[in-house]
Structure 1
C-alpha cells in the first residue's frame, strides 16, 4: 500500500491571504447584495435601449448579450455563498467585467455621450465602496484607461483630451473618497470590537471573551482539565471610601498586572468580570496544580502592595475560589458556580486565602 504524498497547504493559504488582501471585499454578503441591486437595474436599462432605440444589429446583439450576462451573474450571486466567491477573488471580477462590457458597448455603438461615460462610472463606484484599496484602484484605472482609449479613438483630439481627463479625475476622486471612508469605517468597527473584548480600565479581556474560552475548553475531554480561579479584592469598598475612587482604579490596574505576571500567558486567560472581581482560566491544568496556583496568586498579591502617589504603599489582599473541570464541574455554568461558592468560602473564612471546591459534578457531561 503506497502512502499518498503529503502536500503543504501553507503556500496555498498564503496565496489566498494575499488575494483576499488585494482583491477581497470588506463584507462579501453586502457586496454581493449590492452587486445584484446594481446589475438588475442595469439589465433593465440595457433591455430598454435594445427595444426602444435604433442601435443597429450589432449593438442590439451586444445589448441583449449584456442583459443575459447581467441576469446570469445576478442569479449566480443569489445562489452561491459570497464568502466562497470572495475567497477566490471572484467578486472583484464583477466591476472589472462591468467596465469591460460597458467600454465594449460604447465602442460598438460609437457612443461617447456624457450619459454613456457617466454610466461607466458605476463599476468604479461599486469597487471603491466594496473592494480593498488595490482592487478598487485597479478597477478605477481600467475604467479610466478604457474610456480614454474610446474617446481618443472616436472624438476629435481637442474634445477627447478634456473628456478623458475629466472622467479620469472623477473616477480618481470618487475612488479616493470611498476607499478612505471604507478604511475609516473598518477602524471604527475594529475599535468597537476591541472595546467589546478588552476592559478599558485594566486591559484584561472581558467576561464575554472568558465565557467563550471556557465554553470551548470545558467538557472537551482533552488535556488535564480546565480550572477557573475567581479573584475578589478584600475590602475594596474601604479602599474607595478612604482613598477615593482614583486609588481604587489604581488598585484594580495593579492587581491585573500582578495576576498577569503570576500566570503563564500560554495557558491562562486573565479577565475582569466586573467591579473588583477578576478571573483566571487555566487550560490543561490538573486539580492539584490549580489549587497550588490559586494559593500562589494570593501570595503574589500579598507580596506586591500598591505604590501610592505620596511614595507609600497600600497593602492588598484577595480572596480566591478555584474549581476544576471535570473534577468539580461538567459544564461552564457549573464550573463558574462551583468556583463562586469556593470564593465565598474564602471570604467567610477570613479573606486573604484561596479555597478549592470540594463538590463533585452533578449533571451530565456537556459538550460545550
Structure 2
C-alpha cells in the first residue's frame, strides 16, 4: 500500500517566481517595492503641484501638471490598498516605473523643458526599477527612459547640444542600472544562503530542529490513517569518540550517521533531522506503532553494521540508542510525543545502549 509523502516545513516566504513574466518583470520584494514607489510618487506629486501653483507655466502645462498630480495620488492609493504579491505575480508592478517615465517625458515635451533638472528628475523611475525589479525589467525601463529622453532632446535642442545630453543621460541610466541590479543580485544570493542555513544543518546536511518541529506539528495535528512516529537517536559514548580521536573525527561520525539514517529510511515517508549535539531524529508518517518499533530496531542495526572508516584505514564502530513513540498511541500532541520518545530513549541507554526501546502506554499532556 502506498504511503503519503511526509509533510515538510513551510520555508520562509520568498519571491513567487512562477511564470516567465514574473521572472522577467517581477520585483525582488513586492512589499518593499510598493512602499518605495509610494514614497517616491507622493513627494513627486507635491513637487508637481508646486510647479502648477507657483511656476510660470502655460495653461496646457498647468493642466498636465494637475493631471499628473491626480494620477500619482490615485496610483499611490491603489498600491497601498491592494495586495502587492498579486500584481507582482503578473509582472504588473513593472508598469509603475514605465508609467512614470511616460508621464515625465510627456510633461517635458509639453513644457519643452530639457533642462538638467528635468532630465535628472526623469531618472527617478529608472532608479526605482534598477533597485526593485529583476534585471530584465530593470534594463527594459532603463532602455525606455534613455530612448524617450534622447527623442525629447533631439527634437527640442540643437544637434550639437542634444547629442552630448542624450549620451550623458543614457550612460548615467546604464551605470545606475548595472550597479543597482548587481547589488540586488548579491543581496538575493545572500538571503538564499541564510534561508538554507536556517533549514539545513551545515554539518550533517539534515534538516534543522525548526524544520523537523514544523513537519511534526503538521503531521501530528492532522494525524490520519496509521499515525505518526517520532524516533530519537542518540550516539553512544560520543564524548569518548571526541576525546580519543579528536573533534574532526566526531564531526565525521555525525555526518556518517546522518547518511546511514537517510539510507535506512524511505524518502517518501520520513524526515531525518539533527536536534543538536549528537542527537538526531527521524519522523515517520503513516506508521503504526508496531512498524515504528521495527524500523527503530532497523536503524540501530544499520548503524551497528556500518562503522566509520578512519584516515588510517581502521574502522570506528559506532552504536546508537533509540527511543520511539507514536501518535496517537502514546501521545496526542507534539510536546507529549517528544516526552514519550525521550523517556524511551532514556530506557534504551539505561538498558545498556545499542538498542531501541518503544514507549509503552499513552502519556497524558503536561
- For the structure 1 residues 272 and 221, does the alpha-carbon distance in structure 2 shift closer, same or farther, using more than 3 Å as the test? closer
- Contact 1:96–1:139, Cα closer than 8 Å, also in 2: yes
- Contact 2:233–2:322, Cα closer than 8 Å, also in 1: yes
Distance in 2 (CA, whole Å) between partners of 1:242 and 1:163 is: 74
Distance in 2 (CA, whole Å) between partners of 1:129 and 1:112 is: 26
- Contact 2:17–2:89, Cα closer than 8 Å, also in 1: no
Q: Cα distance, 1:23 vs. partner?
A: 1.2
Distance in 1 (CA, whole Å) between partners of 2:149 and 2:32 is: 28
* Pairwise CA RMSD: 1.4
Q: Give the structure 1 partner of residue 314 of structure 2.
A: 312
Distance in 1 (CA, whole Å) between partners of 2:243 and 2:22 is: 54
- Contact 1:219–1:326, Cα closer than 8 Å, also in 2: no
Q: Does structure 1 residue 88 correspond to structure 2 residue 90? A: yes
- Contact 1:199–1:272, Cα closer than 8 Å, also in 2: yes
Q: Secondary structure at the match of 2:282?
A: strand
Given the alignment, which residue of 278, 286, 304 partners 1:276?
Answer: 278
- Gapped regions of structure 2 (runs ≥ 5): 1-15
Q: Cα distance, 1:89 vs. partner?
A: 2.2
Deviations 1:8-37 (CA, angstroms, capped at 9, x unpaired): xxxxxx996222211111111111111111
Q: Secondary structure at the match of 1:322?
A: strand
Deviations 1:96-145 (CA, angstroms, capped at 9, x unpaired): 10000000000001111111000000000001101111111111111011
Deviations 1:285-335 (CA, angstroms, capped at 9, x unpaired): 121111111000000000001111111111111000011111111111111
- Contact 1:229–1:322, Cα closer than 8 Å, also in 2: yes
- Contact 2:335–2:365, Cα closer than 8 Å, also in 1: no
Q: Cα distance, 1:363 vs. partner?
A: 4.5
Q: Give the structure 2 partner of residue 249 of structure 1.
A: 251
Q: Give the structure 2 partner of residue 10 of structure 1.
A: none
Q: Give the structure 2 partner of residue 164 of structure 1.
A: 166
- Contact 1:326–1:361, Cα closer than 8 Å, also in 2: no
Distance in 2 (CA, whole Å) between partners of 1:106 and 1:219 is: 62
Q: Give the structure 1 partner of residue 261 of structure 2.
A: 259
- Contact 1:230–1:339, Cα closer than 8 Å, also in 2: yes
Q: Give the structure 2 partner of residue 101 of structure 1.
A: 103
Q: Secondary structure at the match of 2:274?
A: strand
Bigger shift: residues 235-244 or 63-72? 235-244
Given the alignment, which residue of 30, 35, 38 partners 1:33?
Answer: 35
- For the structure 1 residues 219 and 95, does the alpha-carbon distance in structure 2 shift closer, same or farther, using more than 3 Å as the test? same
Q: Does structure 1 residue 234 correspond to structure 2 residue 203? A: no
Q: Give the structure 2 partner of residue 357 of structure 1.
A: 359
Distance in 2 (CA, whole Å) between partners of 1:123 and 1:101 is: 10
The higher-RCO structure (CA 8 Å, 6+ apart) is 2
Q: Give the structure 2 partner of residue 57 of structure 1.
A: 59
- Contact 1:338–1:359, Cα closer than 8 Å, also in 2: no
- For the structure 1 residues 221 and 260, does the alpha-carbon distance in structure 2 shift closer, same or farther, using more than 3 Å as the test? closer
What TM-score comes out, normalization by structure 2 length?
0.93
Q: Cα distance, 1:79 vs. partner?
A: 1.3
Q: Secondary structure at the match of 1:271?
A: strand
Q: Give the structure 2 partner of residue 66 of structure 1.
A: 68
Q: Secondary structure at the match of 2:146?
A: helix
Q: Cα distance, 1:361 vs. partner?
A: 4.4
What TM-score comes out, normalization by structure 1 length?
0.93
Given the alignment, which residue of 292, 295, 314 partners 1:293?
Answer: 295
Distance in 1 (CA, whole Å) between partners of 2:58 and 2:278 is: 79
Q: Does structure 1 residue 195 correspond to structure 2 residue 197? A: yes
- Post-superposition, which runs of at least 4 consecutive aligned residues in structure 1 deviate over 4 A? none
- For the structure 1 residues 126 and 271, does the alpha-carbon distance in structure 2 shift closer, same or farther, using more than 3 Å as the test? same
- Contact 1:318–1:353, Cα closer than 8 Å, also in 2: yes
- Contact 2:129–2:138, Cα closer than 8 Å, also in 1: yes
Q: Secondary structure at the match of 2:360?
A: coil
Q: Give the structure 2 partner of residue 184 of structure 1.
A: 186
Matched length: 351
- Contact 2:307–2:318, Cα closer than 8 Å, also in 1: yes
Q: Secondary structure at the match of 1:54?
A: coil
Distance in 1 (CA, whole Å) between partners of 2:17 and 2:196 is: 28
**Matched ranges for 1:319-338 at <5 A:** 319-338=321-340
- For the structure 1 residues 15 and 200, does the alpha-carbon distance in structure 2 shift closer, same or farther, using more than 3 Å as the test? closer
